């Protein structure tokens, strides 16, 4: 580049002249006392602005043709960028500036914008060739100024031209990547982050399902946001980012058509954003969660759980026990505070939380699990359903990955807890008893060496614990004369490890089956039989009675068990039963209950996959068009009917009228249960009074409640 080229650089004089012309235009348009022709004067000034830009364009074209690798050249044409930004802003505000003159200057404004865009593209092409030496303070400062001007240019055209805006961001991100190592700790993106988050929120708040352009713009801006957070510092915008992510998650929890469309396109960027943000964001999230928990917004709480899940995912790659413990505590606080209905409608978050919590626990030190173990036990021994269920699910998933010895040790801890609590008379009436009982059952099923468990868990000698986990020894069925007792015993047999010695008696029950036997007995008999292949082969000839007794009045459970029996005897099924099973399939495929339809289709699909084309039954079944249609619709998830609230109300009204449904608030037969509960509470109260010192206030309350009971007795006389 020679001296003659340097002389045609646009200096600050041209920039000031351009700004003055823009200011003069505003003054002329707003001056109601302007005596000359506003249109002519404004057009003259705009033409002057275009000439200034044209001069700048010619200069840049000369520079582009020469050698322009030195960073010193950049400082000479920063005025170009200032002119471009000023022109873009003027064009973006043109409707407000020109008011009713806008149509008279439309062509000139278009030309102005076009010239500014051309100069900007030339500027970026030159910038790509320049090499900055960021070990020099001058070059670092210069590059930061250049990047700031590019960002201001992108901001100024946001509502004018998406194409030009994208060109700015492309140049900005390219420079960030090129000098990523040097810029990482020197460039702060708070201003850009605030702007992008604000604009996306505005777009999403007014979004409509068919507005594809807005959705694409939001997607692009989200991708820019992720890159800004990847290649620069976030100083004061952690709260902005947190509020933004909470806003997006809360929005798509509404599950509307608009929300689903937004979630499908933007959720991947939210995940990336949370995973790459620094520890300061985690601290900001932790400090904000207390306010979220105290609020009445269930959607905010579910959104916070989603963020916690993503933070957990990040900790699986860079474990930190202290951070993990804090987030786990936050997760349980959120679960305890959230509306259970929200958990029901957001099963995905529940499952993802379980998976990522488990992952963090398994990759961390054992000390973390010891701390988490206390949280799990606290939640299991609390009355809230969702925290207890989540805790038991998490416990079970972790146990699956522990060694057999550790699994046995953890079971013995639960057994000791059960032993300590079962002595209280009121414990069996509490929800905590149900939670702990179910966890013991599930955990016991995981134990591979149950003989070894006996040596480290003496509590297994307790009859109450044996009953809880389903350990029974049934020597014979003959002593159970009452049908109700027989049903109870047969129902628990599938849970036992060995009941082959009862096979003959079970076969006898099949042989002596009567029409008046209740469905509960038949279902229990089916379940205990299909669990043993040896028993199953023996009873196949005796299944005709239960298969042929199919009626439309059968209970849903009876239909399920009949299908389970058909599925189990598939490989041993005699040909003479095919017609019988065909009739059952045809009846159940068009049953009014959707679950019965589902079970039937699943059974047919299973039989078809196992026997392939050799099964004559399947061949005959699929010859019928209506059968093919219903199975095809099910497999393709084509749902013809949707149920609304009125359908449910009508359904329960029909049940009430038919006498099959009675509301649980009916008081018939409730007095005995209430008295039993009262007796248990009195026993518990007596135990507490004998072991503690009662205060005068407590004694007064005790006498008051005793008088209430006496009043009830007197009233009954």
Mean pLDDT of the 27-34 span: 84
**Can you tell me the distance from the alpha carbon of 489 to that of 480, in angstroms, rounded to the nearest whole number?**
9
Task: Indicate the pLDDT class of residue 497, thresholds 50, 70 and 90.
Answer: low
What integer pLDDT is reported at residue 3 of this predicted model?
42
Helix (H, G, I), strand (E, B) or coil at 696: helix
Q: Which of 196-200, 343-347, 569-573 has the highest mean pLDDT?
A: 196-200
Kindly report which listed range (5-19, 70-84, 169-183) carries the lowest average pLDDT score: 5-19
What integer pLDDT is reported at residue 169 of this predicted model?
94
Q: Is the pLDDT reported for residue 648 higher than 80? A: no
What integer pLDDT is reported at residue 667 of this predicted model?
46
- Angle of CA points 154, 158, 159, to nearest 5°: 155
**Can you tell me the distance from the alpha carbon of 535 to that of 498, in angstroms, rounded to the nearest whole number?**
13
Helix (H, G, I), strand (E, B) or coil at 131: strand
What integer pLDDT is reported at residue 576 of this predicted model?
57
Task: Indicate the pLDDT class of residue 473, thresholds 50, 70 and 90.
Answer: low
What integer pLDDT is reported at residue 278 of this predicted model?
84
Q: Which residues contact 38 (CB under 8 A, 6 or more apart)?
A: 28, 29, 101
Kindly report which listed range (74-78, 134-138, 290-294, 416-420) carries the lowest average pLDDT score: 74-78
Cβ contact 272:315 at 8 Å = no
Kindly report which listed range (66-75, 249-258, 575-584) carries the lowest average pLDDT score: 66-75
Task: Indicate the pLDDT class of residue 5, thresholds 50, 70 and 90.
Answer: very low
Looking at per-residue pLDDT, the higher value among 691 and 214 belongs to 214
Q: Which residues contact 651 (CB under 8 A, 6 or more apart)?
A: none
Looking at per-residue pLDDT, the higher value among 495 and 111 belongs to 111
What integer pLDDT is reported at residue 2 of this predicted model?
44
Task: Indicate the pLDDT class of residue 430, thresholds 50, 70 and 90.
Answer: confident
What integer pLDDT is reported at residue 666 of this predicted model?
44
Residue 250 to residues 223, 237, 551, 635, Cα–Cα distance (Å): 20, 20, 48, 32
Percent of the chain with pLDDT over 70: 87
Kindly report which listed range (33-42, 330-339, 467-476, 544-553) carries the lowest average pLDDT score: 467-476
Give backbone dihedrals phi and psi of 205, rounded to 5 degrees, phi first: -65, -30
Residue 569 to residues 562, 572, 600, Cα–Cα distance (Å): 11, 5, 15
From first CA to last CA, the distance across the chain in angstroms is 116
What integer pLDDT is reported at residue 236 of this predicted model?
86
What integer pLDDT is reported at residue 640 of this predicted model?
61
- Angle of CA points 695, 701, 707, to nearest 5°: 140
**Can you tell me the distance from the alpha carbon of 113 to that of 105, in angstroms, rounded to the nearest whole number?**
12
What integer pLDDT is reported at residue 477 of this predicted model?
72
Tokens encoding 362: 């398994």
Kindly report which listed range (141-155, 422-436, 533-547) carries the lowest average pLDDT score: 533-547
> Mean pLDDT of all residues in the chain?
82
Q: Is the pLDDT reported for residue 281 higher than 50? A: yes
What is the dihedral angle through the alpha carbons of 533, 538, 540, 546, rounded to the nearest 10 degrees? -100
Q: Please tell me the chain's helix, strand, coil percentages from 3-state DSSP, rounded to the nearest 5.
A: 80, 0, 20
Residue 534 burial by Cβ neighbours in a 10 Å radius (0-12, 13-18, 19+): exposed
What integer pLDDT is reported at residue 341 of this predicted model?
65
Q: Which residues contact 565 (CB under 8 A, 6 or more apart)?
A: 526, 529, 530, 543, 546, 547
Q: Is the pLDDT reported for residue 612 higher than 80? A: no
Q: Which residues contact 557 (CB under 8 A, 6 or more apart)?
A: 519, 523
Longest dimension (CA), the chain: 119
Task: Indicate the pLDDT class of residue 219, thresholds 50, 70 and 90.
Answer: very high
Q: How many CB atoms lie within 10 A of CB 263?
A: 18
Q: What is the pLDDT of residues 547-602, one digit of tens each?
A: 887 777 788 888 888 888 888 887 676 665 778 888 888 888 888 888 888 888 88
Q: Is the pLDDT reported for residue 47 higher than 50? A: yes
Mean pLDDT of the 675-699 span: 78
Q: What is the pLDDT of residues 316-337, one digit of tens each?
A: 877 788 888 999 999 999 988 8
**Can you tell me the distance from the alpha carbon of 39 to that of 28, in angstroms, rounded to the nearest whole number?**
9
Residue 408 burial by Cβ neighbours in a 10 Å radius (0-12, 13-18, 19+): buried
What integer pLDDT is reported at residue 9 of this predicted model?
46
Task: Indicate the pLDDT class of residue 6, thresholds 50, 70 and 90.
Answer: very low
What's the pTM? 0.66
**Can you tell me the distance from the alpha carbon of 21 to that of 347, in angstroms, rounded to the nearest whole number?**
61
What integer pLDDT is reported at residue 481 of this predicted model?
65
Cβ contact 499:493 at 8 Å = yes
The per-type count for the chain, helices as H runs and strands as E runs, is 38, 0
What integer pLDDT is reported at residue 573 of this predicted model?
67
Q: Is the pLDDT reported for residue 683 higher than 50? A: yes
Name the nearest CA neighbour of 582 among 623, 542, 610, 554: 623
Name the nearest CA neighbour of 535 among 493, 582, 585: 493
What integer pLDDT is reported at residue 608 of this predicted model?
81
Q: Is the pLDDT reported for residue 661 higher than 60? A: no
**What one-character DSSP code corresponds to residue 694?**
P
Encode 439-461: b = buried (16+ Cβ within 10 Å), e = exposed: bbeebbeebeeeeebeeebebbe
Q: Which residues contact 152 (CB under 8 A, 6 or more apart)?
A: 85
Cβ contact 74:137 at 8 Å = no
Mean pLDDT of the 532-559 span: 79
Task: Indicate the pLDDT class of residue 297, thresholds 50, 70 and 90.
Answer: confident
Q: Is the pLDDT reported for residue 436 higher than 70? A: yes
Cβ contact 400:446 at 8 Å = yes
Q: How many CB atoms lie within 10 A of CB 313?
A: 17
Q: How many CB atoms lie within 10 A of CB 551?
A: 7
């Amino acid at each position: 580049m020679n001296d003659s080229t340097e002389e045609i650089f646009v200096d600050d004089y041209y920039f000031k002249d351009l700004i003055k012309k823009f200011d003069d235009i505003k003054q002329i348009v707003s001056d109601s006392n302007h005596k000359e022709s506003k249109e002519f004067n404004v057009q003259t000034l705009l033409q002057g602005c275009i000439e200034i830009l044209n001069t700048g364009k010619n200069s840049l074209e000369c520079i582009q043709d020469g050698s322009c690798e030195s960073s010193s050249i950049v400082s000479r044409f920063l005025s170009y960028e200032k002119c471009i930004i000023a022109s873009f802003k003027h064009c973006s505000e043109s409707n407000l500036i020109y008011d009713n003159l806008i149509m008279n200057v439309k062509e000139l404004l278009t030309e102005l914008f076009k010239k500014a865009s051309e100069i900007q593209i030339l500027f970026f092409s030159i910038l790509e060739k320049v090499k900055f030496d960021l070990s020099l303070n001058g070059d670092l400062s210069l590059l930061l100024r250049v990047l700031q001007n590019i960002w201001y240019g992108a901001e100024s055209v946001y509502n004018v031209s998406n194409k030009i805006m994208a060109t700015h961001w492309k140049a900005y991100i390219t420079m960030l990547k090129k000098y990523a190592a040097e810029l990482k700790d020197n460039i702060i993106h708070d201003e850009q982050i605030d702007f992008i988050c604000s604009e996306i929120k505005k777009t999403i708040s007014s979004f409509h399902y068919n507005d594809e352009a807005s959705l694409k713009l939001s997607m692009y801006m989200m991708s820019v946001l992720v890159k800004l957070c990847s290649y620069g510092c976030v100083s004061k915008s952690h709260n902005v980012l947190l509020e933004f992510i909470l806003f997006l998650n809360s929005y798509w929890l509404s599950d509307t058509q608009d929300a689903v469309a937004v979630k499908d396109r933007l959720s991947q960027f939210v995940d990336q954003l949370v995973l790459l943000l620094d520890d300061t964001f985690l601290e900001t999230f932790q400090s904000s969660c207390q306010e979220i928990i105290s609020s009445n917004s269930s959607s905010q709480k579910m959104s916070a759980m989603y963020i916690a899940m993503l933070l957990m995912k990040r900790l699986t790659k860079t474990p930190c026990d202290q951070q993990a413990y804090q987030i786990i505590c936050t997760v349980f606080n959120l679960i305890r505070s959230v509306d259970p209905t929200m958990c029901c409608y957001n099963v995905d978050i529940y499952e993802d939380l379980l998976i990522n919590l488990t992952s963090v626990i398994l990759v961390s030190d054992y000390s973390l699990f010891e701390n988490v173990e206390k949280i799990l036990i606290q939640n299991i021994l609390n009355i809230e359903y969702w925290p207890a269920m989540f805790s038991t699910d998490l416990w079970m998933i972790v146990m699956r990955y522990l060694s057999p010895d550790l699994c046995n040790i953890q079971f013995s801890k639960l057994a000791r807890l059960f032993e300590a609590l079962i002595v209280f008379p009121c414990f069996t009436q509490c929800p905590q008893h149900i939670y702990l009982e179910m966890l013991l059952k599930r955990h016991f099923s995981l134990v591979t060496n149950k003989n070894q468990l006996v040596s480290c868990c003496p509590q297994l000698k307790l009859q109450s614990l044996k009953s809880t986990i389903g350990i029974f020894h049934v020597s014979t069925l003959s002593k159970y004369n009452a049908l109700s007792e027989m049903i109870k015993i047969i129902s628990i047999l599938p849970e036992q490890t060995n009941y082959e010695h009862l096979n003959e008696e079970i076969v006898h029950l099949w042989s002596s089956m009567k029409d008046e036997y209740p469905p509960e007995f038949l279902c229990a008999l089916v379940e205990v039989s299909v669990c043993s292949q040896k028993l199953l082969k023996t009873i196949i000839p005796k299944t005709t009675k239960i298969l042929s007794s199919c009626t439309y009045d059968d209970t849903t459970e009876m239909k399920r068990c009949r299908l389970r029996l058909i599925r189990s005897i598939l490989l041993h099924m005699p040909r003479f039963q095919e017609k019988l099973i065909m009739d059952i399939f045809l009846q159940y495929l068009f049953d009014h209950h959707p679950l019965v339809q589902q079970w039937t289709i699943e059974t047919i699909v299973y039989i078809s996959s196992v026997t392939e084309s050799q099964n004559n039954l399947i061949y005959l079944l699929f010859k019928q068009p209506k059968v093919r249609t219903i199975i095809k619709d099910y497999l393709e998830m084509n749902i013809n009917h949707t149920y609304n609230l009125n359908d449910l109300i009508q359904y329960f009204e029909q049940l009430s009228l038919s006498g099959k449904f009675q509301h649980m608030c009916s008081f018939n037969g409730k007095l005995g249960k209430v008295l039993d509960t009262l007796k248990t509470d009195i026993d518990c109260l007596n135990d507490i009074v004998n072991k503690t010192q009662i205060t005068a206030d407590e004694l007064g309350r005790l006498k008051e409640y005793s008088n209430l009971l006496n009043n009830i007795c007197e009233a009954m006389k």
